[in-house]
Chains A and B, each alone.
Chain A
């Protein structure tokens, strides 16, 4: 894989809050993340961990109540936070594309696929016929069978798997430098999920774009991604290359998360392990480490002081006071 020194995207110390009637909700706190050119990065975390806030911040599609309180988001050297809506509109759909979870809501139900795929090429100074031809070629690349006869159909006439592939084709039309994929396989069965992942990987290699892949599914990260970033309660708690992190996760949350995955448990069991407890209140955060209330290893230091970002053998970033501590003994 080609990697140049300058990353495609680098999020530096990003903090983001929402103004709520109950106070300031600290949705992201000092999040730093880099995506190299042509790299596939898996972003994992439960609902409420800040994955969506981070994605919205990268795309600058944040709701009105959101405010970036510190940090930068550098895309090819340009700070997206300072860019403003017009500058962002130039980038989105051209240099940065998105595939959403539900292809049915991403596609316009009252326009044909051909019309939508021609429309998104509005930046190109070409004839409609040439744009249509490009659309047909792109749909062939995502293996839509019998494209010429299908391109003039409407989204509802396609199966779920095909719709998601059409959405991928549309996102990659402009050969972006960064593709953000928000749980694109959640609605698909296992065979289609794996087919979609293989397709993404192939296209990514051809086009050379980087992918930020947001998912709950650890197996998908293991199969598809070069790196994994794990979020918890608005912080990036661990980040590193997929192989080493899966082999030796350093943050206790990562360790527990992996241990709770039913795919990891060989012996069948009726009682699945769970972390216990819940996410902290992001308006009224605990004093020390944000994971301390649920961490089996938490001590007074953890409860009093916020941990800094450390590096360990397997991970580039571990936000824990004890990145070198032996792995937790996890009893199911």
Chain B
């Protein structure tokens, strides 16, 4: 189910809230949330609920055993079971076909026949990358002594399956939410802030991301594209992915607040960054901190000298890229960012133009990030090459997204989006106060969003596929 869908906003959400606050006794609230989360997840395809349940069972059991046993060797074995189970599930569903296809291609190239491994064409279960990482964090946190085991299976099932952050994050690590699962308060202030975040997140997704999406799609669908079309489309995709994902995160945090949970901030105006290092402190913060704590630090972090630090940074980003999708373009995207981060680390964690005014540094970083998004968006390397030709002006000035058929509205929202990412404060920075003006503004925005997604039917979030 999508947040920007009729069935969620006027179907499941009221049922969840009425049940949670009015019908279900307090001690069963987590059970109710888990049940509703399974409905939310199973609405897409009920068969994959079994996978989610498997991840919950294995990690709950492993976490309990890790906490119960005093023997470090046994603790490690249980941890390995948990990690292998989660990564095995993720690896099989997400990467099997990529691995098999690559192995077949290599075998054919080496003259060892073709079609050695069958391609299964598996459908990727929605959100598997997110919930396996969350679930895995439970056993790791217990192993490290950063968290206590969950009070009950239902509590843990509620944590992993919690619908606001189940399918596209933010990735809430267990130790961040452990206390909230035991005791948390519900307040009108939280509900108010939750409503603000939900409506603003919905607006980012429906009114901005979906409005610039056709411009990005148009550019990437052109056989030959000129300079103007290539850059405007790439900017459109850059805006789309930000408003789409940060909008989803805002909605998730807002829904969490309605239920009394406080999830971490996932975006902090990333396109205002003056360096790639800063960008990764502001973009998908919950993933970058997960990778830092559970991958970069265990690899040795910056404790083993500069060369090893560069290698660790590069490897972390490479795997981070692969996490985003089973395609070599994602690996390249990770490698690109890993290389940039390593180069900046050599430069003392400063951007390449650190001597220039900040506005130039921000502009330069934005261009570097956009070029990264080119690898992220293009399905094949040949398409990357085709777009690069347009970006370099090899096909002349060319034409941009047409103004006809309400195209001018897309262009207006493209400009608005660009202005917002550079000049406006983000939803977390503004100190929202409960005023009549805010209420009216949100009421109108909500109505326009509902009207827009009903007119356009539903459009899935980009990050569902990752």
Partners in one complex: no
Residues of A within 8 A of B (CB): none
